[in-house]
Amino acid sequence: MQRVSLVLAVVVALALVASAGSISGKVSGVSGKSVVYVDTIAGKIFPAPAQHPVMDQKGLLFQPHVLVVQEGTTVDFLNSDNVQHNVFWPSISGDKKAGHNLGTWPKGEKRSWKFDHAGVASLLCNVHPEMSGYIVVSPTPYFAETDASGAYHIKDVPDGSYTVVAWHEGAKNQSKPVTVKGDTTQDFTLTK
Ligand SMILES: [Cu+2]
């Protein structure tokens, strides 16, 4: 009986693995980190993740320079420097109503913000005009950053038809229709 349930468990596990596809490929035309995400899926709402990723201000830099989160995620903004830093973003993808100024605070303190608008927040610090960073807010949990070679891999994407967007700092977004059936590939070439 135990053996039967073990076999059953293996069969169920294999079926689960088989139903989850992926999207992978390469983003070229730019250097450095790009972000690739599945755009809004009609009729689909995803629960907000409980995890709070950290956007640090360290060595007079936003670290990481680019952070991608799912819509609904709360980001903790930390100051690790001995000087005061400010955090503001004038808009999210041009929507000025979604802009916000979190204020200015000293070392060791953090402030949190829930990003419930999909799009890109261009982070600035009004104490240090040379500082800049980005938070890419993906409307779905299906997103990935590229590695040093421009390759990306979005795992656990259910089979279906989607619009997939590639973003890179200073480049034009590129959207492509992708039909996921198991492991699927799609490449992007971005231009400034
Ligand atoms: Cu600063």
Rounded to two decimals, the pTM is 0.89
CA of 170 to the centre of ligand 1 (A): 21
DSSP state, residue 59 = T
CA of 74 to the centre of ligand 1 (A): 21
CA of 79 to the centre of ligand 1 (A): 9
pLDDT for residue 16 is more than 80: no
CA of 55 to the centre of ligand 1 (A): 13
CA of 86 to the centre of ligand 1 (A): 6
Per residue in 43-72, pLDDT tens?
Answer: 999 999 999 999 999 999 999 999 999 999
Phi, psi of 60 (to 5 degrees): 60, 30
Q: What is the DSSP string of 91-138?
A: -BTTBGGG-EEEEEE-TT-EEEEEE-S-EEEEEE-SS-TT-EEEEEEE
CA of 84 to the centre of ligand 1 (A): 6
How sure is the predictor about 5, in pLDDT bands with cuts at 50, 70 and 90? low
Instruction: Report the C-alpha gap between 53 and 137 in whole angstroms.
Output: 12
pLDDT for residue 11 is more than 80: no
CA of 124 to the centre of ligand 1 (A): 8
CA of 116 to the centre of ligand 1 (A): 24
Domains and CATH numbers, the chain: 22-189 (2.60.40.420)
CA of 127 to the centre of ligand 1 (A): 5
CA of 167 to the centre of ligand 1 (A): 25
Q: What is the DSSP string of 133-170?
A: EEEEEESSS-EEE--TTSEEEEEEEESEEEEEEEEETT
Per residue in 117-131, pLDDT tens?
Answer: 999 999 999 999 999
